[in-house]
């Protein structure tokens, strides 16, 4: 079934005054969320944008990568570099990089037990990972500004150790694919794709606390956790981010070793996750690596990878991304296919990633659409989100039918729209 025939890249973007208003809004949002200082307990300096107050006051790994990319699109190279250096500083000597760092704002007593930390109180960070995008952001920020030539090189040893940490701790079966042990390690915390895998241990359910307790009991040794339970996933989005970072590291170092490793991840996604029937890339759950058949936007994420054959990508676009029954919505790219029973386009106080359109999804997939020749569709997706953002502000996500802004206000990564226009 063909939803939309490829058309040449249109090159028509939003009008200059629209772009100027959007940039202004993005700058105000990121600057309003800017936090800098030194950590009281050990004097470590920090400078980053929190995603949004009052709900998201900490520093999240992938949010900060997106903030830095948006800032560099806005020409604020100094703060883009400062935010990435802050993320880099949170690395352990062995290359582990945490999902969330609290700096001077540890979670309150009511929320603390639900953070994936070593103990219940007194933590500075979580023991979990987030989609590994630091190398991607580092390359983008370094390339955007020649004023600090040393910047490009300073992260390389840590980024290399980070990639090695991921391979050692999160790919124990050495099939090339990383495993997550908690749903929110993919950044799409409550996605319905995790409902059949995690059941009562899903991120939005009370059992999530028990899952975290179990990981604590294993001392956050992910190899042991993966060996001993069924509650883990070889996640397509995380592995797409991993391959993109390996590629970025390959380009920054000129070392083909990283590029070869990236190709291995792409091959593993093609061999193991690509479902011949639907043409989607499916997560693999548990020790049996059972394909997860709920269709969510992460099944389209490999569109962003250069090594995926164009025929595979065209199928993803025509049969899913632009199909008006699935992801071809009026505004943005819905986080769940509209024909999935779990699809809910509206705000849900307890759960996210169950239908609404998020800006980072468009940021990852729109360049691929343009590259494949679907320029008009790409412009339509970006234009719909820009209209929504100018009307309702930079929100955490938008209703894919109406464009109504929902959840957090002044949400940092929605500033990525400035990188798309
Ligand atoms: C929510 C999102 C996650 C994001 C965090 C901070 O938990 O699901 O992806 O990193 O908020 O914005």
Burial class (CB in 10 A: 0-12, 13-18, 19+), 356: buried
Please list the residues that pair with 284 across neighbouring strands: 234, 291
Is the backbone of residue 286 left (phi > 0), alpha (psi -120 to 50) or beta?
left
Question: Which of 30, 186, 352, 414 is the pocket-test mutation for ligand 1 (most atoms within 8 Å of CB)?
Answer: 352
Establish if 76 belongs to a structural domain.
Answer: yes
Establish if 361 belongs to a structural domain.
Answer: no
Establish if 406 belongs to a structural domain.
Answer: no
Could you tell me the CA-to-CA distances from 210 to 115, 254, 303, 405 in Å, in that order?
Answer: 12, 44, 35, 33
Q: Counting atoms of ligand 1 from 1, which one is nearest the CA of 189?
A: 8
Question: Which of 35, 52, 60 is the pocket-test mutation for ligand 1 (most atoms within 8 Å of CB)?
Answer: 60
- CA angle in degrees (0–180, nearest 5) for 258-260-264: 115
Establish if 261 belongs to a structural domain.
Answer: yes
Query: Ligand 1 centroid vs 99 CA: distance in angstroms?
Result: 10
Question: Using CA positions, which residue lies closest to atom 2 of ligand 1?
Answer: 187
pLDDT at 11: 53
Establish if 78 belongs to a structural domain.
Answer: yes
Query: Ligand 1 centroid vs 345 CA: distance in angstroms?
Result: 18
Query: Ligand 1 centroid vs 12 CA: distance in angstroms?
Result: 32
Query: Ligand 1 centroid vs 187 CA: distance in angstroms?
Result: 6
Q: Counting atoms of ligand 1 from 1, which one is nearest the CA of 188?
A: 8
Question: Using CA positions, which residue lies closest to atom 4 of ligand 1?
Answer: 187
Question: Using CA positions, which residue lies closest to atom 12 of ligand 1?
Answer: 51
Query: Ligand 1 centroid vs 3 CA: distance in angstroms?
Result: 32
Query: Ligand 1 centroid vs 134 CA: distance in angstroms?
Result: 16
CATH number at residue 272: 1.50.10.10
C-alpha torsion sign, points 297, 63, 206, 126: positive
pLDDT at 105: 87
Could you give the number of structural domains in the chain?
1
Q: What is the pTM of this model?
A: 0.96
Query: Ligand 1 centroid vs 373 CA: distance in angstroms?
Result: 31
DSSP-based three-state secondary structure for 190: coil
User: Cα–chain-centroid distance for residue 338?
Assistant: 21
| Contact predicate 129/163, CB 8 Å | no
Q: Counting atoms of ligand 1 from 1, which one is nearest the CA of 353?
A: 8
Query: Ligand 1 centroid vs 364 CA: distance in angstroms?
Result: 16
Query: Ligand 1 centroid vs 36 CA: distance in angstroms?
Result: 21
Query: Ligand 1 centroid vs 275 CA: distance in angstroms?
Result: 28
Establish if 213 belongs to a structural domain.
Answer: yes
Whose CA is closest to 246, among 217, 219, 266? 266
Q: Counting atoms of ligand 1 from 1, which one is nearest the CA of 51?
A: 12
Establish if 176 belongs to a structural domain.
Answer: yes
Ligand 1 pocket residues where CB is under 6 Å = 51, 56, 60, 62-63, 187, 189, 352
* pLDDT one digit per residue (tens) for the chain, 421 residues: 334 444 434 456 889 999 999 999 999 999 999 999 999 999 999 999 999 999 999 999 999 999 999 999 999 999 999 999 999 999 999 999 999 999 998 888 888 888 999 988 889 999 999 999 999 999 999 999 888 889 999 999 999 999 999 999 999 999 999 999 999 999 999 999 999 999 999 999 999 999 999 999 999 999 999 999 999 999 999 999 999 999 999 999 999 999 999 999 999 999 999 999 999 999 999 999 999 999 999 999 999 999 999 999 999 999 999 999 999 999 999 999 999 999 999 999 999 999 999 999 999 999 999 999 999 999 999 999 999 999 999 999 999 999 999 999 999 999 999 999 9
**Contacts by 306-311 with C-beta closer than 8 Å and gap 24+?**
306/247, 307/243, 307/262, 307/263, 307/266, 307/267, 308/266, 308/269, 308/270, 309/270, 310/372
User: Cα–chain-centroid distance for residue 43?
Assistant: 30
What are the structure tokens assigned to 253, written together? 């170092």
pLDDT in tens, 31-81: 999 999 999 999 999 999 999 999 999 999 999 999 999 999 999 999 999
For residues 399 and 421, give the distance between their C-alpha atoms in angstroms, rounded to a whole number: 20
| Contact predicate 268/177, CB 8 Å | yes
Q: Counting atoms of ligand 1 from 1, which one is nearest the CA of 63?
A: 10
pLDDT at 187: 98
Q: Counting atoms of ligand 1 from 1, which one is nearest the CA of 60?
A: 10
Question: Using CA positions, which residue lies closest to atom 9 of ligand 1?
Answer: 187
Query: Ligand 1 centroid vs 274 CA: distance in angstroms?
Result: 26
Task: Write the CB contacts of 66 (distance below 8 Å, at least 6 apart in sequence).
Answer: 133, 137, 360, 363, 412, 413, 415, 416
Residue 208: which domain range? 34-328
Q: Counting atoms of ligand 1 from 1, which one is nearest the CA of 190?
A: 8
Establish if 408 belongs to a structural domain.
Answer: no
């Amino acid at each position: 079934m063909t939803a939309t025939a490829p058309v040449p890249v249109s090159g028509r973007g939003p009008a200059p005054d629209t772009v100027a208003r959007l940039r202004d809004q993005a700058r105000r949002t990121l600057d309003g969320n800017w936090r800098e200082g030194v950590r009281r307990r050990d004097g470590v300096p920090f400078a980053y944008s929190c995603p949004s107050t009052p709900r998201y006051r900490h520093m999240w790994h992938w949010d900060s990568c997106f903030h830095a990319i948006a800032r560099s699109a806005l020409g604020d190279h100094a703060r883009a570099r400062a935010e990435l250096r802050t993320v880099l500083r949170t690395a352990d000597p062995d290359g582990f990089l945490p999902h969330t760092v609290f700096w001077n704002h540890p979670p309150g007593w009511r929320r603390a037990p639900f953070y994936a930390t070593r103990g219940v109180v007194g933590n500075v960070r979580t023991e979990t990972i987030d989609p590994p995008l630091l190398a991607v952001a580092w390359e983008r920020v370094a390339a955007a500004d020649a004023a600090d030539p040393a910047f490009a090189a300073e992260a390389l040893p840590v980024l290399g150790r980070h990639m090695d940490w991921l391979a050692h701790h999160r790919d124990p079966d050495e099939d090339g694919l990383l495993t997550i042990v908690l749903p929110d390690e993919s950044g799409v915390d409550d996605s319905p794709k995790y409902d059949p895998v995690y059941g009562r241990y899903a991120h939005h359910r009370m059992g999530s606390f028990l899952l975290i307790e179990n990981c604590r009991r294993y001392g956050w040794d992910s190899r042991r956790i993966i060996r001993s339970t069924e509650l883990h996933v070889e996640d397509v989005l995380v592995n797409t981010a991993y391959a993109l970072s390996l590629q970025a590291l390959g380009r920054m170092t000129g070392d083909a070793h990283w590029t070869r490793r990236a190709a291995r991840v792409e091959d593993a996604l093609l061999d193991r996750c690509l479902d011949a029937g639907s043409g989607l890339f499916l997560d693999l759950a548990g020790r049996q690596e059972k394909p997860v058949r709920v269709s969510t936007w992460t099944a389209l994420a490999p569109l962003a990878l250069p090594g995926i054959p164009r025929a595979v990508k065209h199928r993803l676009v025509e049969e899913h991304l632009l199909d008006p029954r699935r992801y071809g919505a009026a505004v943005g790219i819905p986080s769940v296919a509209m024909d999935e029973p779990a699809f809910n386009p509206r705000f849900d106080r307890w759960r996210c990633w169950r239908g609404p359109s998020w800006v980072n999804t468009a940021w990852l997939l729109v360049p691929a659409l343009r590259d494949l020749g679907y320029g008009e569709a790409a412009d339509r997706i970006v234009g719909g989100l820009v209209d929504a953002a100018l009307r309702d502000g930079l929100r955490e996500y938008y209703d894919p039918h109406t464009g109504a802004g929902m959840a957090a206000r002044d949400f940092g990564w929605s500033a990525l729209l400035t990188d798309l226009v």
